Structures are given as structure tokens and as C-alpha cells.
């Protein structure tokens, strides 16, 4: 998606970023997008971000006078960050999701705003019960009274994308039903289109766009919204996590009720627990939560380093302590222990089969009076490729062992470095950061903060890092918050060190496994088999004098162009000098002809000066952009 109506991005306009072609100008100022453009500019001018936006080249969009007020001053930064968060909520679900993505990007916003966006929650009026009933009955093809034994009319929660109600199934199970608001896709389509076009424009015409993958940020927002608008995706995520974490007996993921789940309705077992940040003091005297904190940390690191599919938003609002004595769903281990069937039939659907596999993989069930940790809301997840997982293991291990140079080298391998990237400076800064935090206590350095700061240094030096890394930093930051809510003395860094060392050893053993050695042998045999033919082709080309070496010099074109400009100017100068000398000699014999010569020389001289000034100004602008 580009800015112009005809699909082309031209030069820039009176926004102050240069000169914009007419089609692109019409697009960015079209009535359809003016309110959105005003809202975006207002976010940076009215909530304490004017100076930050100016440094990134974003205030160049304000030339149209779309927002007023200087937005700066001596006001409280925390208050302005809070107002910024509230304004995002007012703008609607697309901007809320944008704020949630920005909360994972310390390279885009100052730290106080990142901290505030961590608490971004949308609070909107609930849908009428009639609308909820209409959606549920249309999606599940039955009347509400036939589907449920009871259905609570008061919602448990209401958000911009959907609403949650408690209900009781006909078989007696307590469930929660998330119902999507109607006509959301149509409302969000234009917001996402505008985000794409604005990101393309900023990428082409601002200094921030040359350093940050703004289009990637918008694509991340779009993917997140697409996943959250399809409740089947969240259902598959929940089932995948329930299976992947079945080996952790105290981790509870509520089971999805497949028959009651569609694209717009999600039904899961109901969790009755206490939010992780609201554990009653009396519960701390009755139970030791330190082992639960350790198991949760290992479960999370298992998601990141083993399966590569992890919950990207484990904030305290999505984690509950499940205490004994209350009716709650069973873990896969408890379900397997209660299953008396001699033979388990294959599941009729993918979700049912996933539950069978979770029970098969489960370890022995813990005592029933043990507390458990329940996770909910799997709309925001992230996937890591095998190569990325290997990089992450090396990165976490280097950070835990305080090896700053190794951590910096790993980030450089993960990211995309520009041509002018100063590798030595980046390694020096990251090493200094790691060393600075090496002797601090665990309370002074929460997990994830160091990674956030390393990402910020990368942004400053021009190193582009993938969005998954910022999601990982957010996950580690929230992991720290959850584990310390369970046990204030828990050291997540020590847990990361132990677990990543174990994973690194497993990776080394896997590389030396018989299957891997067989794969290496097969690849080597392919090379040996093809080698004679390749040598034959090489020698034939050598004998036929058909052997050539191509040298790629990316800057050669610019060098030749510069030399051509110098030669043209020298030639024009010689012509100009010849005209002046000839005209001076003619003045004594043919005065009128000499005057004509001087006029021609003056015209050529003025043209040369104007051409040089325009050319040099354009070159400075191009350098300023890069």
C-alpha cells in the first residue's frame, strides 16, 4: 500500500518534508483521511511528544495546520503519558492495538510512555444484551435458552472488540463466552488502510522512517487485529499452549469448548481465581508460592526456546492464582488421571485431538490442594523460527552471564545493519550497559529492562531489529512482574541462566545426535557427488577463455556520476573562459560582436552558478534523509 491514488509515491509537499507529487498530495489530504491525520499529529503535539517527534522528523506532517497547541511546557511527563493513553482509547480499537504494539517498542517512544501503555486497557460501554443474544444465536444456530442452562446478562468485562459473559452449559460446566461486537471489520478497514499509507509516506520522507521499520509496525498491528477478530485463532492458540505446557502440572490453561466456538464467539472453561497482583496476605501464610514462580518461569522459557510460540502479553491481568476449595477446570494432568477409558479414540476435531495429545504428554498430577497458576487471553502471541530461537538462546545466555560483547554480536546477527553502521561503537555501548547492571541487585534490574535498553541503543545506531524481539522484551518484563508478585525474592535472571544453559546443552547434544549426523553425511555425499561435474565445468570455461570474475562495487556508479559532473563543469568553464578572452579581443575591432560575446558568457556563467547551487542543495537533502 502506498500513498498516492495511482500507486506511486512522488516528491514531497507543503507538509515541510520536501515536495510531494499531486496524486500523493490528494491522497494524504483527502477528506476521508483528514480526521485520522489530524488525530495522529495531535497525539504527537498535544501530549508532550512534540520535541521527540521533531527529532524523528515526524512534525513535518503538521504543515497543514491539523493540530494546534504547543503540547509542551513544564507539565508532568507522567500526566501527559496518561493523557496519551486515554486519547488512544478514545480513538477506537485500531488505535488501542497500535498503542499495545507501541508498548513493545522502546525505539519509538520515550520510556514514561512505554510504561503507561503497559496498562492500556479499553473501557467502553457494554453492548445491549439483545445484541449479544443475536450474535450468539446467529453464530451457534440455536436459541440461547437451548444452548445454556443459564446465561448471566451482566457482562464480566466489556472491551472495544468484544464482551465477556458467564454462563452454565447444559452438562453443568461453568464457562465464559466472549462475543464480538458487530461490524468491526468494516470500521477497522479504513483505519488500517490509513496506517499503511502513512507508514509508507513516513518511510520515504522522514529520518525516523529510514531507521525504523514503520511498515513492519503497521503490519504487526494489522496481524494482531486480524487474529483478535478471528476467535478461532485464539482458540487454536489456547489449545496449543495447553498442550505445550502439559508437562508443567501447576500451569492451568482453560480448555476451549469447540462446539460453542466460531469466528465471533469464543467459549472456554471459567477460571475462578485471584489476580496475581491481588493475592491476599493470608494466602501467603498458607502457601509457598516460590515453587510456583519457578515453574512459571521455566514454562515461559520453554515456550520461547523450545516451541517458539509464546504468549506475548502475560501481564498480571491475564494471570490468576487458583486456590484449592473453589470449582475450577482441570489441568491436562488431572484430566488424564480422572480418565478411566482403556482406549482413547481420535478426536473428531483438531481442538479435541489437541486435548488428547495434552493428556498423553502430561506428567503426574500434583496434589489437589496445591495452588495453581492460570493463564487466559491468547489473542496476542508470537512465533519464532528455528534460527531465531537459536539466536534467542545465545542472547539470553550472554545476558545472564554478563557477556556484553557476545550479546551485542548476537543482536547484530539478528538485525539489519545499515552501510554506515558503527559495529565497534554498538558493541562498546551494549557491553557498557551489561557491565553497568552486572553488580546491581535483582530488584534494581527487572528482567526485560536490559533488553529494552539494548533495543534502544540499536535504534540509536541505526540497527533494525525484528518485531519479535520487542515482544520478547515485553514478555520478559511481564514475566518478572508475575514471578515477583508470587515471590518478591525470586531471581528471574538466575532462572534464565539455568534454563538457557540447559537448552544450550540440549541443542549441542541434538547437533551430535545420530539423525543429525546422518543428515550431515547425506549433505556431504551430495557435495562429493556433484564435485566432479562442477570441476569439469570450471576447467572447460578456463580452457575456452570464458572464465570471468564479477566485482560488485555499489558506490562505483555514484563515483562515476561525480566525475562526470566535474568534467562537465570544467568543460563549461573552459568554454566560458574562451568566450571572455575572445570577446575582450573583439572589443577593439568589432565592439557589437564583443558585447554579444560578453552577454553569452554572462548567461552561461549564471546558468552554471544556478545549476551548481540547485545540484548541491539536492545532494544535501538526500544526505539529510539518510
Average pLDDT over every residue of 516-534: 71
Among 379, 368, 372, 269, smallest CA distance to 319 is for 372
Residue 610 belongs to some domain of the structure: yes
Residue 540 belongs to some domain of the structure: yes
Beta bridge partners of 276: none
How many domains are there within the chain? 3
> CA torsion, points 24, 26, 30, 35, in degrees to nearest 10?
50
Strand ranges inside 544-625, DSSP E: none
CA–CA dist 374, 292 (Å, integer): 11
CA 323 to chain centre: 35
Same domain, 450 and 502: yes
- The pTM of the full predicted model, rounded to 2 decimals, is 0.71
Same domain, 489 and 518: no
Residue 217 belongs to some domain of the structure: no
Residue 581 belongs to some domain of the structure: yes
Residue 29 belongs to some domain of the structure: no
Average pLDDT over every residue of 563-569: 76
Beta bridge partners of 375: 319
Same domain, 506 and 528: no
**For the chain, what is the mean pLDDT?**
79
3-class DSSP assignment, residue 3:
coil
pLDDT value at position 615?
Answer: 74
Same domain, 431 and 457: yes
pLDDT in tens, 572-584: 778 778 878 887 8
Residue 43 belongs to some domain of the structure: no
pLDDT in tens, 229-269: 899 999 999 999 999 999 999 999 999 999 999 999 999 99
Same domain, 531 and 595: no
Answer yes or no: are the C-beta atoms of 314 and 373 closer than 8 Å: no
Same domain, 478 and 413: yes
Give me the helices (H) in 18-110, please. 22-28, 34-45, 50-56, 77-91, 93-102
Same domain, 416 and 474: yes
Same domain, 433 and 487: yes
Say if strands 372-375 and 251-252 run parallel, antiparallel, or are unpaired: parallel
Question: What domain range is 616 assigned to?
Answer: 568-625
**Location of C-alpha cell 471489520:** 185
Residue 220 belongs to some domain of the structure: no
In DSSP notation, 341-408 reads -SSPPPPSSHHHHHHHHHHHH--PPPPTTS-EEEE---SSEEE--HHHHHHHHHHHHHHHTT-HHHHH
Residue 271 belongs to some domain of the structure: no
Among 266, 89, 264, smallest CA distance to 183 is for 264
CB atoms < 10 A from the CB of 172, how many? 7
The more confidently predicted of residues 461 and 555 is 461
CA 417 to chain centre: 18
The more confidently predicted of residues 566 and 422 is 422
Same domain, 429 and 500: yes
pLDDT in tens, 346-401: 878 889 899 999 999 888 888 888 999 999 988 878 888 888 988 888 888 888 88
Same domain, 397 and 502: yes
Same domain, 537 and 484: no
Say which range, 40-44, 148-152, 299-303, has the weakest mean pLDDT: 40-44
CA–CA dist 239, 225 (Å, integer): 20
CA 247 to chain centre: 29
Same domain, 495 and 585: no
Amino acid at each position: 500500500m502506498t500513498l498516492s491514488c495511482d500507486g506511486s509515491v512522488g516528491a514531497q509537499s507543503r507538509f515541510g518534508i520536501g515536495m510531494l507529487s499531486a496524486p500523493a498530495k490528494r491522497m494524504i489530504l483527502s477528506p476521508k483521511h483528514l480526521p485520522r491525520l489530524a488525530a495522529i499529529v495531535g497525539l504527537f503535539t498535544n501530549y508532550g511528544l512534540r520535541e521527540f517527534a521533531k527529532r524523528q522528523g515526524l512534525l513535518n506532517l503538521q504543515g497543514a495546520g491539523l493540530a494546534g497547541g504547543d503540547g509542551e511546557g513544564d507539565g508532568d511527563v507522567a500526566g501527559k503519558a496518561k493523557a496519551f493513553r486515554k486519547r488512544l482509547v478514545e480513538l477506537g480499537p485500531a488505535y488501542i492495538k497500535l498503542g499495545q504494539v507501541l508498548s513493545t517498542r522502546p525505539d519509538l517512544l520515550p520510556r514514561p510512555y512505554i510504561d503507561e501503555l503497559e496498562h492500556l486497557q479499553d473501557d467502553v460501554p457494554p453492548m445491549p444484551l439483545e445484541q449479544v443474544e443475536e450474535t450468539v444465536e446467529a453464530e451457534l444456530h440455536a436459541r440461547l435458552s437451548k444452548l445454556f442452562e443459564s446465561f448471566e446478562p451482566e457482562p464480566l468485562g466489556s472491551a472495544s472488540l468484544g464482551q465477556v459473559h458467564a454462563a452454565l452449559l447444559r452438562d453443568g460446566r461453568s464457562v465464559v463466552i466472549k462475543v464480538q461486537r458487530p461490524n468491526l471489520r468494516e470500521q477497522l478497514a479504513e483505519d488500517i488502510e490509513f496506517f499503511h499509507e502513512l507508514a509508507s509516506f513516513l518511510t520515504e520522507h522522514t529520518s525516523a522512517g529510514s531507521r525504523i521499520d514503520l511498515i513492519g509496525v503497521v503490519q504487526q498491528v494489522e496481524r494482531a487485529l486480524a487474529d483478535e477478530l478471528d476467535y478461532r485463532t485464539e482458540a487454536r492458540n489456547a489449545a496449543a499452549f495447553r498442550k505445550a505446557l502439559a508437562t508443567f502440572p501447576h500451569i492451568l490453561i482453560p480448555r476451549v469448548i469447540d462446539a460453542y466456538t466460531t469466528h465471533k464467539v469464543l467459549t472456554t472453561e471459567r477460571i475462578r481465581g485471584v489476580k496475581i497482583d491481588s493475592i491476599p496476605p493470608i494466602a501467603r501464610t498458607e502457601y509457598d508460592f516460590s515453587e510456583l514462580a519457578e515453574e512459571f518461569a521455566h514454562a515461559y522459557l520453554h515456550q520461547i526456546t523450545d516451541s517458539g510460540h509464546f504468549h506475548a502479553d502475560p501481564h498480571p491481568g491475564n494471570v490468576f492464582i487458583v486456590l484449592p476449595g473453589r470449582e475450577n477446570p482441570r489441568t491436562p494432568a488431572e484430566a488424564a488421571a480422572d480418565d478411566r477409558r482403556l482406549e482413547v479414540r481420535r478426536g473428531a476435531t483438531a481442538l479435541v485431538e489437541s486435548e488428547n495429545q495434552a493428556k498423553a504428554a502430561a506428567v503426574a498430577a500434583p496434589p489437589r490442594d496445591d495452588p495453581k497458576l492460570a493463564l487466559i487471553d491468547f489473542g496476542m502471541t508470537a512465533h519464532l523460527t528455528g534460527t531465531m530461537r537459536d539466536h534467542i538462546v545465545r542472547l539470553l545466555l550472554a545476558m545472564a552471564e554478563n557477556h556484553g560483547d557476545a550479546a551485542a554480536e548476537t543482536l547484530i546477527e539478528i538485525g539489519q545493519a545499515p552501510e554506515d553502521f558503527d559495529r565497534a561503537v554498538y558493541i562498546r555501548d551494549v557491553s557498557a550497559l551489561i557491565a553497568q547492571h552486572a553488580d546491581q541487585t535483582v530488584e534494581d534490574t527487572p528482567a526485560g529492562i536490559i533488553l529494552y535498553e539494548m533495543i534502544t541503543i540499536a535504534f540509536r545506531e541505526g540497527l533494525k531489529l525484528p518485531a519479535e524481539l520487542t515482544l520478547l522484551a515485553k514478555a520478559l518484563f511481564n514475566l518478572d512482574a508475575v514471578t515477583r508478585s508470587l515471590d518478591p525474592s525470586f531471581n528471574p535472571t538466575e532462572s534464565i541462566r539455568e534454563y538457557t544453559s540447559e537448552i544450550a546443552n540440549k541443542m549441542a547434544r541434538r547437533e551430535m545426535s545420530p539423525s543429525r549426523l546422518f543428515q550431515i553425511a547425506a549433505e556431504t555425499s551430495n557435495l562429493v557427488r556433484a564435485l566432479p561435474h562442477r570441476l569439469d565445468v570450471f576447467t572447460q570455461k578456463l580452457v575456452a577463455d570464458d572464465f570471468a570474475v564479477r566485482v560488485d562495487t555499489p558506490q562505483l556508479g555514484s563515483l562515476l556520476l561525480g566525475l562526470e559532473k566535474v568534467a562537465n563543469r570544467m568543460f563549461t568553464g573552459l568554454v566560458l573562459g574562451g568566450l571572455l578572452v575572445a570577446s575582450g579581443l573583439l572589443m577593439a575591432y568589432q565592439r557589437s560582436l564583443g558585447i554579444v560575446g560578453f552577454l553569452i558568457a554572462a548567461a552561461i556563467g549564471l546558468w552554471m552558478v544556478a545549476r551548481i547551487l540547485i545540484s548541491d542543495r539536492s545532494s544535501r537533502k538526500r544526505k539529510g534523509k539518510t
